[in-house]
Amino acid sequence: MRRVFGGVEGGGTKFKLLIGTDPHDIVAQAQIPTTTPDETLERVIAFFRRPDIELAAVGCASFGPIDLDTRSPTYGCITTTPKPGWAYTNVVRTLGSELGVPVAWETDTAGAALGEYTWGAGRHIEVLVYVTVGTGIGGAVLINGRPVHGLLHAEMGHVLVPVADGDTFAGICPYHGQCLEGMASGPALRARTGRPGETIAPDDPIWDLEAAYLGAGLHQIGYVLSPQKIIVGGGVPQTPHLLEKIRRQVTSLNHGYLAHPALSGGIRDYIVPPGLGADAGVIGALELARQSLQSHADQVRP
């Protein structure tokens, strides 16, 4: 029987599931809609209960905010989500007790960052940032392949950005109004224009404004964390030419202050699209599962 890992990427609208050991060795994959916690997790469990595999561990990269503090009574929970029924759902406990294997737990962006670090555009990058721009804006930082946790986890999408001259949009973040997510996420674009981003022409001037905000966000993230690479994933940056506009904005905001090639001629190697595309999160969850076994082995080794 094959010894494999399970990967789960839990999203607000769908869960992506994977069984395998790496992107080139996938035994099975599926997508299920996110409905109620009970129904969704039941389908996740059913997917992993297969007679032809020996499941060693499961990695779960989830939408959040999530509790990552192993000493906390709510570790393994999605915490204050407005998504009906999901607040304080303990995903780790449910999957662990039903499947009888260790369950590793991370944010969806950290899962994607880990996938990119292991197999994608961020290989061998000591200080790596992954930012996703879609339904929300999130970010994760990995130091030598380990996601950084502190008080909670990074919330790069909620940094404040300077409001562009003449922009009267109030922003859609219920907590901060005009934070990066409030001004530049997919729903913010839709609220500004009345149209989903994928239907807006690539030469529409709205993309210059979008790039101004995303560029300001990446400028701050770059200055604070000094990453060697920033991977920009999610649906919005797939708009033709948008990533190039963001790069120009970051170079321009630097004003030549940091004299590193990454911020001038080398910017195409500094701000990059994901190597694993939209599957970085669920693929990274396989690596999360593998790492959880490794850290367990380290703990029990005398």
- Total number of residues that touch Zn ion (CB under 5 A): 5
Smallest distance, Zn ion to C-beta of residue 165, A: 22
Interface residue with Zn ion, options 63, 104, 122, 158 (CB under 5 A)? 158
Shortest Cβ distance from residue 175 to Zn ion (Å)?
A: 5
* Site for Zn ion contains 184 (CB under 5 A): no
Nearest approach, Cβ of 201 to Zn ion (angstroms)? 28
- Residue 52, CA distances (Å) to 7, 20, 32, 49 in order: 17, 12, 21, 9
Nearest CB to Zn ion, comparing residues 158 and 219: 158
175 or 257, CB closer to Zn ion? 175
User: 179 or 250: whose CB is closer to Zn ion?
Assistant: 179
Residue 173 found at the interface with Zn ion (CB under 5 A): yes
Is residue 129 involved in binding Zn ion (CB under 5 A)? Answer: no
Q: How many CB atoms lie within 10 A of CB 203?
A: 9
Burial of 148 (0-12, 13-18, 19+ CB in 10 A): middle
The C-alpha atoms of residue 178 and residue 188 are separated, in whole angstroms, by: 10
Beta carbon nearer to Zn ion, 80 or 295 = 80
User: Does 192 sit near Zn ion (CB under 5 A)?
Assistant: no
Q: Does 137 sit near Zn ion (CB under 5 A)?
A: no
Q: Are 274 and 243 in contact (CB under 8 A)?
A: no
Could you tell me the two tokens for 85? Answer: 């029924």
Would strands 146-147 and 127-133 be described as parallel, antiparallel, or unpaired? unpaired
The minimum distance between CB 179 and Zn ion, in angstroms, equals: 3
Point out the residue whose Cβ comes nearest to Zn ion: 173
Q: What is the H or E stretch that residue 222 is in?
A: helix 206-225
Residues contacting 112, CB < 8 A, separation 6+: 61, 130, 132, 140, 233, 274, 276, 280, 281, 284
Q: Which stretch binds Zn ion (CB under 5 A): 14-22, 94-102, 177-185, 238-246?
A: 177-185
Please answer whether residues 45 and 101 qualify as being in contact, where contact means their C-beta atoms are separated by less than 8 angstroms.
no
Out of 44, 142, 179, 242, name the contact with Zn ion by CB under 5 A: 179
Q: List residues binding Zn ion (CB under 5 A).
A: 158, 173, 175-176, 179
